[in-house]
Structure 1
Amino acid sequence: MIPTRIRLAPALIAAPLVLALAACEGEEGDVAEGATGPIEPVAAPEGTSWTETVTVSGEGGAVLGNPDAPLKLVEYASHTCGACAAFATQGKPELKRDYIAAGTVSIEQREVFLNTFDVVLARMIQCGPPERVHALSDEVWTNLGPIMGGVQQNPEAVQAAGELPMEQRFVRIAEVAGFLDFFAARGLSADEARMCLSDTDAVEAMVREADRLAQADEITGTPTFLLNGQRVDGPQWSAVESALQDAGARPAE
């Protein structure tokens, strides 16, 4: 599949809603350089676990794992991307159990917006504390079929919502697509979600910063992974794990 060309995000939030979802697949590139030997595990502070440790990077991304891990994985992902959902369900559990738990690897999540639904979902995810970003994102990807089913079942209402002014648009999309109910069942009340989605300044800032980072790293498809700043050779978990092991990561014992 040809990698998706990322649309200019600032134009995306100002444009009327497009119901057709873009295809997505990460691009290949140069792998990170190999290490001279295995990296020793790093113990988490007493009473904590690296798989439950989330910090915010200097770029504003949610970092899961040891913030000082020698191997820093960055994932550029879209919440409506099937390949991203496949990684979340097939690769991320192993990544957490075998590598993040060892304290040698962290993963930072960065947004890519392929369509208006990505904007709505990301804003709702970021409406809560940073500690919930990875968990809520994984919930979205695990349930991507039912979530987008709400969009497909109400196409006229969703299309009409996409024509509204920005201060109303994202709230209405979340209402008619069933996103409010999905997130309410996971701890984000409908009132909190409406407040976040109607804050157009915050939405625009989120989208513009994501666009800036994606352009700086020349991201053209999702998911795309960087390991210590170098592109991983493929979007699948097998490619990511191979790059981690080449760089010295070993599964936690």
Structure 2
Amino acid sequence: MRHLILLAALPLALTACNDSKPAASDPNAPLPTAISAPAGQAWEETIVATPEGGFRMGNPDAKVKLVEFASLTCPHCREFHEAAAATIKNKYVASGNVSYEYRNFVLNGPDFAATVLARCQGPSAFFGLLDAFYADQMGWTEPFGKISKADQEMLGKLPEDQAVARMAELGGLADYVKLRGIPRAKFDQCLSDPAQAKAVNDLRNQAVNEYKLTGTPSFIINGTVQEGVFAWPDLEAKLQTALR
């Protein structure tokens, strides 16, 4: 992960995403009959960590299983999230017919640090933090671009775990997440935990080696990578086809 840490200034992060060419879809197409959640529960509030390393929202036995590999620093991922997240949650996941799993595909050091912090809070907090990181993507990533050359050189000389934590501190991430319920002690704990770092690296390796993904966001429906699908209209059309 060393090469990711040294990309603290972010230019790669903001260009290493898939471009998107929306296709036509019918957002008013009827869904199959909704599947009721267990008494006292709602599918969109049923969130678990998966054995594959992601966080899944929805019915574990849903007919359509949607997986997204994405980066917190990718502008196209942010755009997709803004366009699609509410509809996926409130229409498709809430129906019980679709489950949605998010797996982090980190692109650089700031992405790595933010990803570890979001994941470290567990399933119940993950999607709320995801919303926050995307909503304020430009705000929290901008300070990383101002890290001095001297500090970047210093980061390159530190052990990996120390470099991640120090880079996150230099980029103002400690103060940012403190306002979102992550105190400094938890910040330090998460970024020094080798198990958290390994989980994030494992997801990146899974994306690259198992699924042969080359950019973000990328989508998998029922185990099949959706080639050429990067934007919500394209993906919604695929979901509707899979639900028929």
Same fold (TM over 0.5): yes
Q: Partner amino acid for 1:89?
A: E
Q: Deviations over 1:68-98 (max 9, x none)?
A: 1110000000111001111111111111111
Q: Is the 8 A contact 2:69 2:218 kept in 1?
A: yes
The structural deviation recorded for 1:206 is 1.9
Question: What TM-score do the two structures reach when normalised by structure 2?
Answer: 0.86
Q: Is the 8 A contact 1:183 1:189 kept in 2?
A: yes
Q: Does 1:238 align with 2:230?
A: no
Question: What TM-score do the two structures reach when normalised by structure 1?
Answer: 0.83
The structural deviation recorded for 1:158 is 5.6
Name 1:178's counterpart in structure 2.
172
The structural deviation recorded for 1:105 is 0.7
Q: Partner amino acid for 1:165?
A: P
Q: Does 1:72 align with 2:96?
A: no
Q: Does 1:221 align with 2:215?
A: yes
| Equivalent-residue separation in structure 2 for 1:65 and 1:171 (angstroms) | 33
Q: Is the 8 A contact 1:75 1:223 kept in 2?
A: yes
Name 1:16's counterpart in structure 2.
6
The structural deviation recorded for 1:161 is 5.6
Q: Which runs of 5+ in 1 are unaligned?
A: 1-9, 29-36
> Which runs of at least 4 in structure 1 moved beyond 6 Å after TM superposition?
none
Report the RMSD for the aligned CA atoms in angstroms. 2.2
Match of 2:202 among 209, 217, 239: 209
Q: Partner amino acid for 1:125?
A: A
Match of 1:145 among 138, 144, 147: 138
| Equivalent-residue separation in structure 1 for 2:132 and 2:168 (angstroms) | 16
Closer, same or farther in 2 for the Cα pair 1:95/1:155, shift >3 Å? farther
Q: Does 1:132 align with 2:122?
A: no
Count of aligned pairs between the two proteins: 230
The structural deviation recorded for 1:156 is 4.3
The structural deviation recorded for 1:202 is 2.1
Q: Partner amino acid for 1:190?
A: R
Q: Is the 8 A contact 2:115 2:200 kept in 1?
A: no
The structural deviation recorded for 1:153 is 3.7
Q: Is the 8 A contact 2:97 2:243 kept in 1?
A: no
Q: Deviations over 1:6-29 (max 9, x none)?
A: xxxx4535x63452323133389x
The structural deviation recorded for 1:169 is 1.1
Which structure 2 residues correspond to residues 3-82 of structure 1 after superposition, within 5 A? 10=1, 12=3, 16-19=6-9, 20-22=11-13, 23-26=15-18, 39-82=32-75
Name 1:7's counterpart in structure 2.
none
| Equivalent-residue separation in structure 1 for 2:151 and 2:57 (angstroms) | 34
Q: Which runs of 5+ in 2 are unaligned?
A: 21-29
| Equivalent-residue separation in structure 1 for 2:105 and 2:71 (angstroms) | 5
Q: Deviations over 1:158-192 (max 9, x none)?
A: 62563232232111122121111121111111111
Q: Is the 8 A contact 1:51 1:64 kept in 2?
A: yes
Q: Is the 8 A contact 1:76 1:111 kept in 2?
A: yes
| Equivalent-residue separation in structure 1 for 2:205 and 2:144 (angstroms) | 28
Closer, same or farther in 2 for the Cα pair 1:129/1:167, shift >3 Å? same
